Amino acid sequence: MHKDDQMTPNERLAAFFAGKEFDRLPAMPFVVTVAGRVCGMTHREKRSSAKNQAGCQIGCYEKYGHDALTVEWGLHGLAMSFGSETNDPEDAVPAVVKYAIDDWDQLDQLDIDKVTRHPWYQLNLEALKICVDKMSGEVGTNISFPGPFTSASDIISINKLLRGIAKHPDKVHRLMSIVTEALKVAAKPFVENGGGIFLCDPIASGNVISPAHYREFVKPYTTDLWNYIHSIGGAGGYHICGDTNAITVDMVETGCDMLSVDHAVNLADAKKLVGSKVPIIGNVDPINTMMLGTTEDVSNEVKLDLRQCYDNPCGYIVSTGCDIPLNGPLENIDAFMNAVRTCAKYPLDPSNFSE
């Protein structure tokens, strides 16, 4: 437990969800990509072994005392199991360089039985087990888990996927069905070994597809996935990057347990729409504030977010709007946690985060 806290994350979240008193609001900044740098490793070193993946998450927790660990199976995880290939940069997040399929006629080549056998899947499952074994008495561990539409865009190129919505909608639906069944297979061992599911689907953003296309090609499959995760005893949060204002209600209707929103979404607006249904997570700007801003900027934006959402009926978890970039100043993560500990201590007092 962090020296400046009075409760462990497990104790704090148990009280938070039960509507009881806690020492401060939960804080879950996305300390995922940057975790290696915090612990003195390049991103390649971090992702090279289960020991390093787990060790970096544990090391970040020991430094910052935030309220969840997150193992980085990542956005490309499922696509890699299907045969997509990524590059191997020394100190950046890998990108897809070869897609599993090039044409819609190749859908039959996608083999769900391969999903949990892929080395990257096995590495992250082992990293999860290490985190749970060492830390479960104090803090929970989530898996950074790709959403259905983003997974599809890494299996066939995003350009072909988006054109397919107009030209081959039946084939897009078939791919989405395959992906969803594969994600169920992937989720089961993670949940059975104590992991929470943090579902991230950035290509489903309102900056990429229309609300109508979200409702037809994403929402039904995401709903099916959450239903399955709940059926096996799992739970988690749902995040889509960018502008999701027009689909905020739809996202919650998929059945997610918590809603995470990017900095493009006004927290007060989200609170009005869905605050009586789910806890809201968010949303300090990861680029302009966490990467490019000063520690004072970070503190000020935490206060702004608190003013907008501290009184959310189902609760508010302070977070960043997305993953913290690799090359930002690490002192800004300290500033984020310091601001939460100073301004969001219980009982919550708006004068602590006034302008």
- Distance between CA atoms of 184 and 182, rounded to whole angstroms? 5
Beta-carbon neighbour count of residue 20 at 10 Å?
Answer: 9
Q: Is the pLDDT of residue 355 over 90?
A: no
DSSP letters spanning 94-127: --EEE-S-SSGGGGGG--GGGGGGSHHHHHHHHH
Given this model, what pLDDT does residue 88 score? 97
The model's pLDDT over 168-219, given as tens digits with 9 standing for 90+, comes to: 999 999 999 999 999 999 999 999 999 999 999 999 999 999 999 999 999 9
Residue 99 CB-half CA count within 13 A: 18
CA distance 42 to 61: 18
| Average pLDDT in the chain | 98
Average pLDDT on 12-34 reads 97
Four-CA torsion 124, 130, 132, 137, nearest 10 degrees? -160
Does residue 293 carry a pLDDT above 90? yes
Number of neighbouring beta carbons within 10 Å of residue 324: 26
Q: Token pair for residue 326?
A: 């690799």
77: nearest Cα among 170, 197, 192, 161: 197
Is the per-residue pLDDT at 111 higher than 90? yes
- pTM for the whole thing? 0.97
Rounded distance between C-alpha atoms, residue 75 and residue 72, angstroms: 9
